[in-house]
């Protein structure tokens, strides 16, 4: 059992690192292949209020929310020659860390792993010398199949209630 | 250093107003002196949009809102009145409120304990009898700006005297009523998105005056991928009755805004901005004149900027996810472009909907609006990227010399004609392919920037 959990940890962390590499390489099509058909992806609006994260993340208010079909068009649009946001020579580098497995369960013959991880995203525009930093806690659910892992759920809790960036054309 | 700036602005006024050339120096989009002058001549003088009344419905409800770098607690006091309290203790200046919104009966300063009620009155000081026995509390309430509302919109003005909000808005009220009254009144669906990015606030403000052409070029992909398709009302590119109303005057006779309205191709077709028929009972026909009601009835989209930095639009029949079979509803995106520095702007983006419509409809409006506009919206992500680049090009000295053109529909370039049958105030042009809405904004801007203080 201990070996199983260790194996899952390696599989899941490997998935997250590989996903980050695909996104940082603008391989959005390949990223789509990592998404479960029933993906639930959301970045809620955060407000500086109350005492806890739960107080600050407002129910039913989002900056980005969608499933696989949402992202399929999104990615197609970015790839079009008039998909300007993705033509601005932005470079992103995602640093994924602090991966903690919270829960493991089985459903319909698939193993699901609920985990949290930190995202540090550094964005560099064109030849500019300054960079933009964004950080977040991600609550993910990964679906572990025999031969691959898929992203089933992601909930991105930004550290920013005032986002220090001109757009978010890429998923976090 | 200001001399050079004044010279540049004086030259722009000659070109822009006296000679009506529609030309301006690129430098207006990124300059330290211009930013400082804007704070002094515009943002501390005019009525600035702060938020919606529906954000603070109950006694003690507050939101913290900004005018330039200044922060105000916009709060509904125990007497029901909305005030704009400067977020800074009158003792040593400590900000009293560190949250963006909430409900408060009073604010106590964490430094020495001065306490204020939700009307901004100083109500207590610890150990007062020992060191401040004769201090008159009533003289040391929180500093305030004037706050007034119109159609559920809250505005603040740093000037103690001067025009009321109603006078400032002038003829523009006629158009605000179509959006914020004839719809049965609007309310916010969720808290605003906020983002800070290095672009100039005027790029957002001028675009939403009515820049229709950029929607066809920059946002071409929205139509290609069917986020915004040919609507039920038949207006993909241009319909015969599309109009732009420019030079709408405030009570002082100066241009205060413009609005673009796209309309159904056939007079008898009712669009009501794309609201579904089953939601039409929320609309308030009797709250406006027959002419205003008819504009709402045939409107497929409205887009406006109210000087200086409040913009908004409603656009029928959009979706956030074209591959899914979800209802198409109107985008409702309203925003403030708040200047924080030269070429640096904080954008507040609200999603609103008519109060009386179903919660299911409002939820869909929220989904569709964030999927198209705001920081991750498939349309607006492209705008922000370009505005940022423009502000970067405007940074240097050469940008003072480089003139940029805003000539669409100038009489010497292309005669547009006027809709003589238009019943509302302002100058009604029978097209949206023009740049007169932007020029309305810039005319007011250059008048204010060159005004003697």
pLDDT digit string (tens) for chain B, length 453 residues = 789 999 999 999 999 999 999 999 999 999 999 999 999 999 999 999 999 999 999 999 999 999 999 999 999 999 999 999 999 999 999 999 999 999 999 999 999 999 999 999 999 999 999 999 999 999 999 999 999 999 999 999 999 999 999 999 999 999 999 999 999 999 999 999 999 999 999 999 999 998 989 988 899 999 999 999 777 876 567 788 999 999 999 999 999 999 999 999 889 999 999 999 999 999 999 999 999 999 999 999 999 999 999 999 999 999 999 999 999 999 999 999 999 999 999 999 999 999 999 999 999 999 999 999 999 999 999 999 999 999 999 999 999 999 999 999 999 999 999 999 999 999 999 999 999 999 999 999 999 999 987
What confidence score (pLDDT) does residue B229 get?
76
**Residue A114 C-alpha, separation from nearest chain B C-alpha, in angstroms:** 26
Question: Which three-class secondary structure state does DSSP give residue B14?
Answer: helix
The yes/no answer to whether this complex scores an ipTM above 0.85 is yes
pLDDT of residue B184: 98
284-343 in chain B: CB under 8 A from chain A:
320-324
- Count of alpha carbons within 13 angstroms of residue B360, beta-carbon side: 6
Cβ pair B320:A66 closer than 8 A: yes
The answer to whether B224 faces chain A, any CB pair under 8 Å, is yes
| A165 → chain B, closest CA residue | B197
* A44 interaction partners in chain B (CB closer than 8 Å): none
Task: Determine, for residues B324 and A76 on separate chains, whether the beta-carbon distance falls below 8 Å.
Answer: no
Q: What is the pLDDT of residues A41-65, one digit of tens each?
A: 999 999 999 888 888 898 789 999 9
The reply to whether B195 touches chain A by the CB within 8 Å rule is yes
Residue of A nearest to B346 (CA): A162
pLDDT of residue A60: 85
Q: Is the pLDDT of residue A116 over 80?
A: yes
pLDDT value at position B316?
95
Which residues of chain B have a CB within 8 Å of the CB of A163? 193-196, 375
pLDDT at position A121 is 98
Quick one: average pLDDT of A16-33?
A: 98
The pLDDT score that the predictor gives to residue A2 is: 54
Q: Which residue of A has its CA nearest to B371?
A: A64
B367 contact A CB<8A: yes
Contact check, Cβ <8 Å, B376/A73: no
Confidence at residue A127, expressed as pLDDT on a 0 to 100 scale: 94
Q: What angle do CA B332, B337, B342 make, to 5 degrees?
A: 155
Q: Which residue of A has its CA nearest to B194?
A: A162
Cβ distance B195 to A166 less than 8 Å, yes or no, reads yes
pLDDT in the model for residue A55: 85
pLDDT at A88: 86
**How much is the average pLDDT of A99-125?**
95
**What does pLDDT average to over chain A?**
94
Taking contacts as CB-CB distances below 8 angstroms, the residues of chain B near A60 are 190, 363, 366
> Rounded distance, CA B318 to CA B295, Å?
20
Segment A95-101 long-range contacts (CB within 8 Å, at least 24 positions apart): A95/A20, A95/A119, A95/A120, A95/A121, A95/A122, A96/A13, A96/A16, A96/A17, A96/A20, A99/A9, A99/A12, A99/A13, A99/A16, A101/A5, A101/A8, A101/A9, A101/A12
Confidence of residue A13 (pLDDT cuts 50, 70, 90): very high
């Amino acid at each position: 059992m201990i070996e199983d959990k260790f194996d899952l940890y390696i599989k899941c962390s490997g998935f997250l690192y590989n996903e980050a590499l695909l996104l940082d390489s603008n391989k959005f099509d390949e990223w789509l292949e990592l998404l479960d058909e029933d993906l639930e992806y959301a970045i809620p609006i955060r407000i500086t209020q109350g005492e806890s994260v739960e107080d600050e993340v407002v129910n039913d208010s989002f900056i980005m929310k969608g499933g696989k079909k949402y992202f399929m068009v999104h990615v197609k649009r970015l790839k079009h020659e008039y998909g300007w946001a993705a033509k601005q020579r932005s470079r992103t580098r995602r640093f994924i860390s602090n991966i903690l497995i919270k829960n493991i369960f089985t459903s319909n013959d698939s193993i699901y792993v609920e985990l949290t991880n930190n995202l540090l995203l550094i964005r560099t525009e064109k030849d500019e010398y300054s960079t933009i930093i964004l950080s977040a806690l991600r609550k993910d659910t990964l679906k572990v199949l025999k031969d691959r892992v898929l992203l089933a759920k992601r909930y991105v809790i930004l550290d920013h209630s005032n986002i220090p960036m001109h757009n978010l054309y890429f998923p976090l | 250093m200001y001399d050079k700036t004044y010279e540049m602005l004086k030259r722009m006024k000659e070109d822009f107003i006296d000679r009506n050339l529609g030309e301006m120096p690129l430098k207006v989009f990124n300059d330290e002196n211009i930013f400082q002058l804007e704070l002094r001549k515009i943002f501390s003088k005019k009525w600035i949009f702060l938020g919606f009344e529906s954000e603070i419905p109950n006694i003690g409800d507050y939101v913290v809102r900004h005018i330039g770098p200044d922060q105000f607690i916009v709060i509904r006091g125990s007497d029901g009145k909305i005030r704009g309290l400067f977020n800074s203790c009158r003792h040593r200046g400590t900000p009293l409120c560190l949250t963006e919104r909430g409900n408060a009966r009073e604010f106590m300063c964490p430094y020495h304990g001065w306490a204020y009620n939700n009307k901004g009155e100083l109500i207590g000081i610890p150990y007062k009898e020992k060191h401040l026995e004769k201090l008159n509390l009533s003289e040391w309430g929180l500093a305030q700006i004037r706050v007034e509302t119109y159609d559920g919109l809250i505005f603040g003005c740093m000037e103690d005297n001067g025009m009321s909000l109603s006078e400032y808005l002038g003829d523009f009220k006629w158009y605000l009523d179509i959006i914020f009254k004839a719809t049965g009144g609007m309310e916010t669906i969720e808290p605003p998105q906020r983002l800070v990015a290095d672009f100039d606030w005027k790029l957002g403000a001028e675009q939403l005056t009515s820049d229709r052409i950029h929607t066809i070029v920059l946002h071409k992909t929205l139509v290609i991928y069917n986020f915004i398709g040919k609507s039920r009302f038949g207006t993909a590119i241009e319909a015969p009755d599309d109009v732009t109303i420019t030079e709408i005057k405030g009570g002082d006779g100066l241009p205060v805004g413009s609005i673009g309205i796209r309309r159904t191709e056939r007079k008898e077709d009712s669009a009501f901005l794309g609201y579904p028929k089953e939601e039409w009972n929320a609309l308030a026909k009797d709250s406006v004149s027959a002419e205003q009601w008819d504009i709402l009835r045939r409107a497929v989209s409205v887009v406006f900027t109210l000087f200086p930095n409040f913009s908004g639009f409603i656009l029928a029949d959009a979706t956030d996810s074209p591959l899914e079979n979800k209802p198409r509803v109107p985008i409702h995106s309203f925003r403030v472009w708040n200047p924080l520095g030269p070429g640096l702007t904080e954008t507040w983006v609200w999603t609103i909907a008519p109060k009386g419509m179903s919660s299911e409809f409002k939820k869909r409006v929220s989904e569709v609006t964030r999927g198209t506009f705001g920081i991750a919206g498939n349309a607006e992500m492209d705008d922000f990227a370009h505005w940022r680049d423009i502000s970067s090009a405007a940074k240097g000295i050469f940008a003072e010399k480089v003139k940029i053109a805003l000539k669409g529909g100038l009489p010497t370039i292309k005669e547009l004609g006027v809709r003589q049958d238009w019943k509302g105030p302002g100058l009604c042009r029978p097209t949206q392919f023009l740049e007169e809405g932007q020029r309305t904004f810039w005319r007011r801007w250059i008048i204010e920037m060159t005004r003697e203080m």
